[in-house]
Structure 1
Amino acid sequence: MSGLSRYAGAEIATTAVADGAGGTREVRYLRRRPLPDPRRLAVLALHPVARGDRMDLVAARHLGDPTAFWLIADANGALDPDALVAPEAEGTLLLIPIPGV
């Protein structure tokens, strides 16, 4: 799964912005990427959040790649992946999706 990017395939757009010297310059940016519908994801596992969990370690354990934590964040509708394993999240279940399905 190495090299899998959260923004692979995201559309690149451009916009003109003020350059601070009275002119404009063109800036490229990635368009917003829609999150997948969790109801349509194939589930690999449910992970009960425990004290001391970290997203990179959860991803490494279930997906074999610590940098794939964003797949878990997306599957759980989280903009802040660390909130999924924060102390107040202990005991909740994280949906671990099957990558690419």
Structure 2
Amino acid sequence: MFEATSRYHGIATATLTLQDGRTVTYVRRRFLPQPGDLKFIGEQIVAPGDRLDRIAARQYGDPEQAWRIADANGALRPEDLTAVLGRRLRIALPTGVSGALPAGPAPS
């Protein structure tokens, strides 16, 4: 249902039958991984003008992978990660992925 690069890839769906008889399919809840359980591959220091999508584009070659940085840093509010200049952000692979980055630039 979702691309392999989506944070929802591999999460099961469920159905709910409403009172009017309609059936609705939805994606089950996604629980955030523990940052320490992820494969650490580098770090990025927040610089002026940085946003998670820009950092993800540099680190993963895809701005839509910003969720990986949020997961690696245990962020419930991703915008907080770039609020402080000089903050060190963990760069990691998603749960279940080992090895190096499959494509894109090397971590800085």
One fold, TM greater than 0.5? yes
Q: Please state how far the C-alpha of 1:25 moved relative to its aligned partner.
A: 2.3
Q: Larger % of helix: which?
A: 1
Deviation per CA, 1:18-48, whole angstroms, max 9, x where unpaired? 5xxxx24221111111222211222111212
Q: Which residue in 2 is equivalent to 1:10?
A: 11
SS at match of 1:53: coil
State TM-score, norm by structure 2: 0.73
For structure 1, the 5+ residue unaligned runs are none
Q: Which residue in 2 is equivalent to 1:40?
A: 37
Q: Which residue in 1 is equivalent to 2:90?
A: 95
How many residue pairs are counted as aligned between the two chains? 94
- Higher Cα Rg: structure 1 or 2? 1
d(CA) in 1 for partners of 2:53, 2:77:
13
State TM-score, norm by structure 1: 0.77
d(CA) in 1 for partners of 2:41, 2:93:
5
Q: Please state how far the C-alpha of 1:5 moved relative to its aligned partner.
A: 0.9
Cα RMSD (Å)? 2.0
Equivalent of 2:76 in 74, 79, 94: 79
